[in-house]
Amino acid sequence: MKLSLIAVPALAGAVMVTGNVAFAQEEGEEQTQHKFLEPKPGKPVTFFTPGGEITLYGNLDISFDVMTKGISNLTAPGTGEVTPAGSVGWMPDISTNLAYVGVRGFQRLGGGFQFLYQLETQIDIAASSGLSESSSNKSDVVKGGLTSRNTFLGFSTPFGAIKVGKTDAPYKTSTARFNPFSGMIGDYQVVMGNTGGDNRVEFGTRLDHSIWYESPQVYGVNFAALYSPGQNRADDSGDLPAGEADCTGGNIPGSGGTGAAPFPISCNDGGFSDAMSFSLNGAWGPLYVTGAYERHQKVNRNSDLYGIIGAFPLPAPYVGWDSADVAAEDAWKVGAMFTFPTETTVGGIFEDFHRYVPAYLAFQNERQRTGFWFVVSQNLTAQDSLHLGWAHANRTPGDPGQHNTSINVDPGSGLTAGGLNANNQADMFTVAVKHGVGHDITLYATWAWTINQQYAHYDLGAGGRSVTTDCHDGGLPASGDVNSNPHCWAGGRLMGFSVGVNKKF
């Protein structure tokens, strides 16, 4: 029996098929005759097809949570009486968390080449599928629709794999194994990859209409590179990308809170043009190291600027303000993880975001900062494990304020903003205990706490949950999309407890 030496290990937490997996099979298997959809021995739900294989896989997860926004004790500065509206304290919920099913497979083409495919969709367990609408954004994508998640066609060769479709970007997958809280209330994406503190994770996302390359593993090292064309005719990325239902970044036009005259309805709340993402990973026994970089071109954040300019006269540099806040954004990170003989795993990530705006816009630039994540995991028994995590977001150059702290007037500038050097740092602490009951079923309990400073508004549950807890109160109207007007109270201390069950197949 002889096995090929070319194989690419799957990244933990990423639902991807590497083009070279088949090369780890026994030589001569390509000539073996099997019945159509004959079950393949082993754990995965895999069937033989003529000259290939097809596998059914999935991740099912649901939890019962009790969460608080931690803003009930806040009062608008200078008013002495304006407080958050609605029920903003402890509230129970049932949430579907990072649940999906898919099929993937390959077809041998001879000479070491294969045709690859994967079709994957979100599964809504606790709620009905539909358009995503909340008090802070709206999406026209039906995430419970067929192939809403990582879906592609491609080819593998002995020199790597080329794929076309949509996928979690290499920047995201490079550190997936650092996140044992994936899909939980304390998911590290509350801070990591999350530039502004919203439930959107700008640098931990799935990129549509992409083409990417995955290298084979050579001496423990592999490389991935992705390019996603913006498909946007607008110079400021304000249009919907051709062939897409949403703005790039996850919202429909106008969901940034603008649209009333004289402000145009457009993709002005984070829509971007071309995107590039890269990762370089190395694994040698108990040590894993990674470095990654991602860049988004022409990111349109004019909705941050509209609210300020609509309320206050601004100086000469703001001539042409309707397209001023459009700039490139990029991020880089490095991480290392080591597993000791005691089955203790320790890991850390440092991350740096940059937004390339003119100096006169620095007072409202909340998208540029550094941050870090530390995680410790300990196997207690063969079935039980304990996980501890801490994420920290450093302050940004400025804060736009008009959405997040609109009734907090900066005494220095008179603007409804935190302004330059606003204290928008935040910390998130989280603990989880997991217990395996067999058959790839895991029970878990977790606690998470986000501590926002005065102008920060980081949330809980970002990055894969149907129920998230953010800074918005229950003010009316709060029915969703551009017609909603709940106030976002910066400085909240969000906390939650969660118990859930996860099943993989």
- The class (CATH top level) of 21-504 is mainly beta
Place of tokens 């639902």: 15
pTM of the model: 0.87
Question: Among the ranges 5-9, 285-289, 454-458, which has the highest mean pLDDT value?
Answer: 285-289
How far is Cα 66 from Cα 346, in angstroms, rounded to an integer? 29
How far is Cα 120 from Cα 145, in angstroms, rounded to an integer? 10
What is the per-residue pLDDT across 134-172, written as a single tens digit (0 to 9) for each? Answer: 545 566 565 656 778 999 999 999 999 999 999 999 999
Which pLDDT score is estimated for 106? 96
Residue in 131, 176, 211, 156 with CA at minimum distance from that of residue 8: 156
The mean pLDDT value for 224-239 works out to 93
Which pLDDT score is estimated for 18? 40
Which pLDDT score is estimated for 482? 45
More confident residue, 88 or 372: 372
The mean pLDDT value for 366-383 works out to 97
How far is Cα 196 from Cα 353, in angstroms, rounded to an integer? 10
Return the H-helix or E-strand segment holding 280. strand 275-284
Token pair in block for residue 426: 């935040």
What is the per-residue pLDDT across 50-64, written as a single tens digit (0 to 9) for each? Answer: 899 999 999 999 999
How far is Cα 99 from Cα 104, in angstroms, rounded to an integer? 17
Which pLDDT score is estimated for 403? 52
Return the H-helix or E-strand segment holding 161. strand 160-168
Lowest-confidence pick of 127-136, 195-204, 252-261, 475-484: 475-484
Position 319 pLDDT exceeds 70: no
The mean pLDDT value for 188-198 works out to 93
- Assign 488 a pLDDT band (cuts: 50, 70, 90): confident
How far is Cα 358 from Cα 130, in angstroms, rounded to an integer? 40
State the Rg of the chain over Cα. Answer: 23
Amino acid, res. 147:
T
More confident residue, 293 or 134: 293
SS (H, E, C) 440-504: CEEEEEEEEEEEECCCCCCCECCCCECCCECCECCCCCCCCHHHCCCCECCCCEEEEEEEEEEEE
The mean pLDDT value for 194-201 works out to 87
Mean pLDDT, the chain, rounded, equals 84
The ranges assigned to domains in the chain are 21-504
Q: What region does 461 belong to: left with phi over 0, alpha with psi -120 to 50, or beta?
A: left
CA 183 vs CA 100, 145, 331, 334: distances in Å: 12, 20, 22, 22
**What is the DSSP code (8-state) at residue 22?**
G
Position 434 pLDDT exceeds 80: yes
Contacts of 216 (CB under 8 A, 6+ apart): 6, 7, 8, 20, 158, 159, 160, 222
Which pLDDT score is estimated for 206? 92
Which pLDDT score is estimated for 141? 62
Contacts of 43 (CB under 8 A, 6+ apart): none
Lowest-confidence pick of 118-127, 171-180, 320-329, 404-413: 404-413
